[in-house]
Amino acid sequence: MRTIPLLVYLSQQGIYSLGTVRRNRIPNCKLPDENALKEKARGTSKEFVGVVDGVEISSVVWKDNKIVTLLSTFAGINPSDKVSRFDKKKRKSGS
């Protein structure tokens, strides 16, 4: 099974799902490409919600150390929050 049909099937069975996905598994992807996100600051994120066979599927991309893409039938980009990260060079936690 492919990614999106699997999400639709699981949702129709009453099972919500969320997981990372390779970008090439999302047909007609409306999210910004990796080159556009590389120029943005870490923590930048974008969301697109589409409907497939009556099931809302949220696709989210954000930049951390690398670009991460996920698909979900129950979660989206919100709520978002700031986290404290450990800086190896300074040897302390910061933002």
Q: What are the structural domain ranges in the chain? A: 3-94
Reported pTM: 0.76
pLDDT range class, residue 1, cuts 50, 70, 90: very low
**What's the mean per-residue pLDDT of the chain?**
85
- Please determine, for residue 8, whether its predicted confidence score (pLDDT) is greater than 90: yes
Q: Which of 83, 74, 76 is nearest to 55 (CA)?
A: 74
Average pLDDT over residues 36-51: 87
Q: Which pLDDT score, from 0 to 100, does residue 38 have?
A: 85
The overall longest dimension of the chain from CA atoms, in Å, is 51
Tokens of 2: 């492919």
